[in-house]
Amino acid sequence: MKPYQSIFIIILCNWMAGAGTPVAASVPPYLNDSLPMEERIDDALARMTLEEKIALIHAHSKFSSPGVPRLGIPEIWAADGPQGVREELMWDSWDTAGHTNDSCTAYPALMSLAATWNRDLAYRYGRSIGEEFRYRGKDIALTPGINIYRHPMCGRNFEYMGEDPLLAGILASEAVKGIQSNGVAACVKHFALNNQETDRHQVNVIVSDRALHEIYLPAFKKAVIEGGAWAVMGAYNRYKGQFACHNEYLNKILKEDWQFDGVFISDWGGTEDTEQAVRNGLDMEFGTYTDGLSSGEANAYDHYYLARPYLQAIKEGRFTTRELDDKARRVLRLCFRTNMNRQRPFGSLNSPQHAADAQAIQEEGIVLLKNEGALLPLEPAQYGKILVVGENADFMLTKWGGSSNVKARYEMMPIDAIRNRVGSRATVEYRKGYTSDWPPQPAVQDSLREEALAAARQADLIIFIGGHNKYPNHDTESYDRTGSGAPFRQDEVLEELVRLRRPIVLVTMGANQFDMPWSDRIPAMLHAWYGGSEGGTALADVLFGRVNPSGKLPVTFYRQLTDCGAIAEGEYPGDGQNVRYNEDIFVGYRYVEKEHIAPAFPFGHGLSYTTFAYGRPQLSQTVMEHTDTLLVTVPVSNTGKKAGKEIVQLYLSDVQSTLPRPMKELKGFVKLSLEPGETQEATFSITAEELSFYDERTGCWTAEPGKFVIHIGASSADIRHTASFRLKE
Ligand code: GLC
């Protein structure tokens, strides 16, 4: 056989093995998985008409944009939200579509995830919730929310990840990676400065460049650069007078400074102007209410700012297609990362694994605030009659709250989980004690309180489960809190119960606690945020010791509202047009330490059923060059009788700085899991980046030479050891 004959036979066999279709030659590049993504994008873009590019960049339903039907590029579907994949809504309205196959696993609120300080759990949250979005056919998951917790009044604090940009940024980055491992885009929100709900659609935030870069942007920067987020959602509010959904300053930071290559999408209804949307980087427009036509009109979508008005402007020569091609390219990149990626997994929904994921997060998110006399964990057999009081012991907290509302397949109530755990070892009674029913009826509230007190007089132990819920002016979108007092008059019940001098445990839900000047008379307190489908199970496991709590506060619990920098020095909520962040970089613990204020419970605080001892930190060097990485190792031992987890925190102080800096700032954390008697080392690395502040005089991050102090702590206020080093010229 001649060589050319054998080659021919090889080709013929390959061709026949390819089930008769010739190889790649007939598949257009954009459909050829074996080609680099950017080549596929170029090819798809070159095939698209002007009208198809315009259609691609704005919604054609409440939560979808059309893709490119002629080229077989699928619709792009987005869905909320941080606590689970939202139920299907109507095509053109916020009404539920009434499906029966779209209930989901409800995950703990992101404040609870933040309270775990656990990178692995943050990834696990992302991977798990991402599987549910994927299974439901969603390409963009509108989570995580990472706006900084500037003050306790913001109605959406529960959806975010606390007051410290490093903690929020590191955990958000892990969550983003987890979500995107499913071929679903994470969409971090709301970029930027959306720190209140009052006047959220128009308030103009006035903040220094330094506070913007040191406090309000770092979590987004980490989520984009380290997390690799494929989508970012703009905020409703304005900054420097421009709406954040198309803001030249924020757009430059996101797309030039950070080199973000994903899609910048509007919040729903956050687009206000065609010219600004074109020039300032808005890539996809969702949820706009068109002028003239009310929302939901069949052709409303064509009236979107980036729809006909934009097409018309291009045809009239007011714009080239330069911006449009960049927007379309980014949306195509999103498609090739998600619904055009044939290798992506298929997801799953409501699996036992997801329930276990949600439970594991909540078990580590619950914070043990107080435990005088080691009242906890409870041994039921010690108590003949246990009385549970409080509406939140038997109240669905996965519902409402605004766009993060989910239709949970189930939600384990605390009272049911407590009864399951106690079994026949004691009797468990329940009294509601107070109600959030609206409008409030004093006679009803009085009788609920009296019933609870009557039962409490016969009880050996009281477990009060209260706090906030997802109703307006508590923890919900579009509304802020109206004050820091106890919700629904539950303090009246609590104060009476405390007077009975029986053992009492207080469990609070919500984004933060309410004022309780008498809390020193309560020996044991837990804060449980919002726990999701297995919130009741996790709480019962902590109460009765199956789980040793390890959560720590991602936020400062103030004794009084005026101890908060934003309230004491800043403006809140502003005058309806502007709000000035006069407290500047002194947010949360950074403020209370500057003012030497003792909070009710400090940032980073959380107790355990065991104890931990911290050895002295060892430094790799005591003099550091700008290019060095200084290593800090801290031996931590479990000196108690129970296995437990400890979050070791490293804070840094800049002793000699030309600008005022916080007393100290969180620059690292390590969560160790230790058996009784076990010692492990927490290791931290410090580079010039951790030493730097943002110098608005130069627009650069600057690490000034001189002395720095390392604080190793179990909380921001419980510093176990310090060590110093010097940064050389
Ligand atoms: C809402 C929220 C945003 C949500 C979006 C879609 O107004 O601000 O977080 O993802 O609209 O529901």
Helix, strand, coil tally for the chain in percent (to 5) = 35, 20, 45
Question: What's the pLDDT at 422?
Answer: 98
Q: How far is the CA of 335 from the centre of ligand 1 (A)?
A: 21
Amino acid in position 505? V
Q: What are phi and psi of 691, to 5 degrees?
A: -90, -10
With contact defined as beta carbons under 8 Å apart, do 467 and 508 qualify?
Answer: yes
Q: Which fold has domain 352-555?
A: Rossmann fold (3.40.50)
Q: How far is the CA of 189 from the centre of ligand 1 (A)?
A: 9
> Which of helix, strand or coil describes residue 561?
helix
Name the segment(s) of the chain with CATH classification 3.40.50.1700: 352-555
* Pocket of ligand 1 contains residue 80 by CB under 6 Å: yes
Question: What's the pLDDT at 21?
Answer: 44
Strands of 48-151, DSSP E: 64-65, 76-79, 140-141
Residues in the chain with pLDDT values less than 50:
1, 3, 10-11, 13-23, 292
* Pocket of ligand 1 contains residue 403 by CB under 6 Å: yes
Q: Is 152 left (phi over 0), alpha (psi -120 to 50) or beta?
A: alpha
CATH 2.60.40.10 for the 612-727 domain, yes or no: yes
Determine the atom of ligand 1 nearest the C-alpha atom of 63: 6
Angstrom distance (rounded) from CA 636 to CA 630 = 19
* Pocket of ligand 1 contains residue 267 by CB under 6 Å: yes
Count of alpha carbons within 13 Å of 611, Cβ hemisphere only? 5
Buried b (16+ CB within 10 A) or exposed e, 261-283: ebbbbbbbebbbbbebbbebbbb
Q: How far is the CA of 109 from the centre of ligand 1 (A)?
A: 16
Determine the atom of ligand 1 nearest the C-alpha atom of 200: 8
Question: What's the pLDDT at 296?
Answer: 55
Determine the atom of ligand 1 nearest the C-alpha atom of 403: 12
The two three-digit tokens of residue 702, written as one number:
């600057």
With contact defined as beta carbons under 8 Å apart, do 688 and 727 qualify?
Answer: yes
Angstrom distance (rounded) from CA 449 to CA 433 = 5
Q: How far is the CA of 332 from the centre of ligand 1 (A)?
A: 23
In DSSP notation, 503-546 reads -EEEEEESSS----TTGGG-SEEEE----GGGHHHHHHHHHTTS
* Pocket of ligand 1 contains residue 142 by CB under 6 Å: yes
Question: What's the pLDDT at 576?
Answer: 96
Question: What's the pLDDT at 518?
Answer: 85
Question: What's the pLDDT at 292?
Answer: 46
- Taking residue 20's Cβ as centre, other Cβ atoms within 10 Å add up to 7
β-sheet bridge partners, residue 624: 727
Q: How far is the CA of 169 from the centre of ligand 1 (A)?
A: 20
The two three-digit tokens of residue 315, written as one number:
């045809």
Ligand 1 mutation pick, 80, 199, 237, 245, max ligand atoms within 8 A of CB: 80
* Pocket of ligand 1 contains residue 160 by CB under 6 Å: no
With contact defined as beta carbons under 8 Å apart, do 650 and 687 qualify?
Answer: no
Angle between helices 442-456 and 490-499 (to 10 degrees): 20
* Pocket of ligand 1 contains residue 238 by CB under 6 Å: no
The closest residue, in CA terms, to atom 6 on ligand 1 is 268
Triad 145, 146, 147: Cα angle to 5° = 110
* Pocket of ligand 1 contains residue 189 by CB under 6 Å: yes
Q: How far is the CA of 406 from the centre of ligand 1 (A)?
A: 13
Ligand 1 mutation pick, 142, 200, 203, max ligand atoms within 8 A of CB: 142
Q: Indicate which residues carry an active-site annotation.
A: 267
Q: What are phi and psi of 88, to 5 degrees?
A: -70, 135
The closest residue, in CA terms, to atom 5 on ligand 1 is 268
The closest residue, in CA terms, to atom 9 on ligand 1 is 403
Question: What's the pLDDT at 525?
Answer: 98
Name the DSSP class of 289.
Answer: P
Q: How far is the CA of 288 from the centre of ligand 1 (A)?
A: 12
The closest residue, in CA terms, to atom 7 on ligand 1 is 268
pLDDT digits (tens, 9 = 90+) for 346-395: 999 999 999 999 999 999 999 999 999 999 999 999 999 999 999 999 99
What's the pTM value of the predicted model, to 2 decimals? 0.96
pLDDT digits (tens, 9 = 90+) for 267-292: 999 999 999 999 999 999 999 976 54
Q: Given the structure tokens 């220094």, which residue do they identify? A: 208
Q: How far is the CA of 389 from the centre of ligand 1 (A)?
A: 34
The closest residue, in CA terms, to atom 8 on ligand 1 is 267
Question: What's the pLDDT at 92?
Answer: 83
Determine the atom of ligand 1 nearest the C-alpha atom of 187: 10
* Pocket of ligand 1 contains residue 63 by CB under 6 Å: no
The two three-digit tokens of residue 5, written as one number:
């004959």
Looking only at the bridges linking them, the beta strands covering 76-79 and 64-65 are antiparallel
Determine the atom of ligand 1 nearest the C-alpha atom of 194: 8
* Pocket of ligand 1 contains residue 200 by CB under 6 Å: no
Determine the atom of ligand 1 nearest the C-alpha atom of 190: 9
- Taking residue 392's Cβ as centre, other Cβ atoms within 10 Å add up to 30
Q: How far is the CA of 533 from the centre of ligand 1 (A)?
A: 22
Name the DSSP class of 245.
Answer: G
The closest residue, in CA terms, to atom 4 on ligand 1 is 403
* Pocket of ligand 1 contains residue 268 by CB under 6 Å: yes
Determine the atom of ligand 1 nearest the C-alpha atom of 86: 12
Name the segment(s) of the chain with CATH classification 2.60.40.10: 612-727
